[in-house]
Each structure stands twice: as C-alpha cells, then as structure tokens.
Amino acid sequence: MSTFLEQHFTIGFLAEQWGWDVDTVRPWFEGMPGLQVVAHPEKMHKRKYTSVRVPASIAERVYLAHATK
C-alpha cells in the first residue's frame, strides 16, 4: 500500500503525543522501511541533519508494538 497521501508526522510530535521522550522513541524507527528521510548537508557552518517523517500507518504499528509491552 502506498503511503504518499497519508498524513506524516515528525518523531518529536509522536513522542509528545504518546507521552514519551524523543530520545526513547527515535530508536523505535531506526532503519524502518517506509519512512520519509531527507538528509540536509552542512552549509555555511550549520551542522548537517536528517529530517524524518513517519506515515500514520507506520506510527500506529510502532505505537501498538510498544504500548502493549
């Protein structure tokens, strides 16, 4: 199933909604296929960083996996 029309969320937003710290939630998504990942290279002394957006269907699956533990 294609996720391009799904709502996408940042990991920070999901962590806040779920009541977890972002440093706890971020590893749950590492290496997961289907995420929208955009690398931003270093520019004019600004550090490089990566933007990650999580489709709603993946967010739901991850939440259910961790909420039932």
**Mean pLDDT value across residues 4-29:** 95
Q: Record the pTM.
A: 0.84
The pLDDT score that the predictor gives to residue 5 is 86
DSSP 3: -
pLDDT at position 2: 67
Please give the average per-residue pLDDT across 46-67, as a whole number.
93
Average pLDDT over residues 32-41: 92
Give the 3-state DSSP-derived string for 36-69, with helices as H, strands as E and coil as C: EEEEECCECCECCEEEEEEEHHHHHHHHHHHHCC
Please report, for the chain, the start and end positions of each structural domain, with discontinuous segments joined by +.
Answer: 8-67
**14, 28 Cβ separation under 8 angstroms:** no
CB distance 25 to 10 below 8 Å: no
Q: What is the mean pLDDT of residues 29-37?
A: 93
